[in-house]
Amino acid sequence: MNDDVLTLQAISKTYNAGKPNEVQVLRGASLEIRRGEVVALVAPSGAGKSTLLHIAGLLDTPDSGAVMIDGRDMTRLGDHARTAARRGQVGFIYQFHHLLPEFSALENVVLPQLANGVPAREAETRANDLLARVGVEKRADHRPAALSGGEQQRVAFCRALANGPSLLLADEPTGNLDPATSDQVFGALMGLVRDTGLSALIATHNLELARRMDRVVRMADGQITAG
């Protein structure tokens, strides 16, 4: 088995290419994340970290370079295969939880599993287990509007892990929370990642949180350097 869960090879991305307002966001960015490794991505606003995460998570495509997940070159796949890989191999967490407001916490974690072909009873069992791991099992039947900001984000963590991905990508996952809640919620995320043996790339402005991860990398001038 390949020891690298994620390999980004010389990723380049330009928006509005060939136009006067073109912006070259990524300039040959490369990164390797080993199995079970949690890496902090630190960069100022506008440096391109969200673009990098979207490309790594197969939500966007690079102009050049390769995205390898579990040793498989995702840039060579068709749309259907990319969608299947994104659904089954990658979990994505945003700064805002993006839970479906008309469904309960439990249902928000069940639904992505159903979309991936998991039987309903099995999906519900896994959802309950994940919610228990982050301490919100007693809120499983509540809709997002009835949950605190920290509880909403914990549910979003569970949803991202619902299909058992090998790679977790998170874009400022505690950025909308106050410092005390951020620390608690990040602790819950790290516990969940460690328990499941995930590899993760987590973008954050918070250097204290970054230091709690295995390794720190930085973005500058469209490239990735060691922290």
> What does the alpha-carbon distance between residue 156 and residue 7 come to, in Å, rounded to a whole number?
25
Residue-number span of the structural domain to which 84 is assigned: 35-60+78-226
| Per-residue pLDDT at 20 | 76
**Which of the pair, 220 or 41, is modelled with greater confidence?**
41
> What does the alpha-carbon distance between residue 84 and residue 65 come to, in Å, rounded to a whole number?
21
Give 97-100's long-range contacts (Cβ < 8 A, gap of 24+). Answer: 97/144, 97/152, 97/153, 97/155, 97/156, 98/156, 99/144, 99/152, 99/155, 99/156, 99/159, 100/144
Whether 194 is in a domain gets the answer yes
In this predicted model, what pLDDT tens digit does every residue of 97-111 receive, in sequence order?
A: 889 999 999 999 999
Mean pLDDT of the chain: 88
Whether 69 is in a domain gets the answer no
| Per-residue pLDDT at 180 | 80
First to last CA, the chain: 28
Whether 11 is in a domain gets the answer no
Taking residues 135-141, what's their average pLDDT? 91
Q: Using pLDDT thresholds of 50, 70 and 90, give the confidence band for residue 179.
A: confident
The answer for residues whose C-beta is within 8 angstroms of residue 167's C-beta and 6 or more apart is: 5, 6, 33, 56, 69, 70, 89, 90, 91, 198, 199, 200, 201
**Looking at this protein, which amino acid is placed at residue 55?**
I
Whether 40 is in a domain gets the answer yes
Two tokens at 29? 């960015």
Q: What is the CATH number of the domain that holds 105?
A: 3.40.50.300
In this predicted model, what pLDDT tens digit does every residue of 116-136 receive, in sequence order?
A: 889 999 999 999 999 998 888
pTM as predicted: 0.87
Q: Taking the CB of residue 11, how many other CB atoms lie within 10 A of it?
A: 27
> What does the alpha-carbon distance between residue 160 and residue 188 come to, in Å, rounded to a whole number?
14
| Per-residue pLDDT at 2 | 59
Count of structural domains within the chain: 1
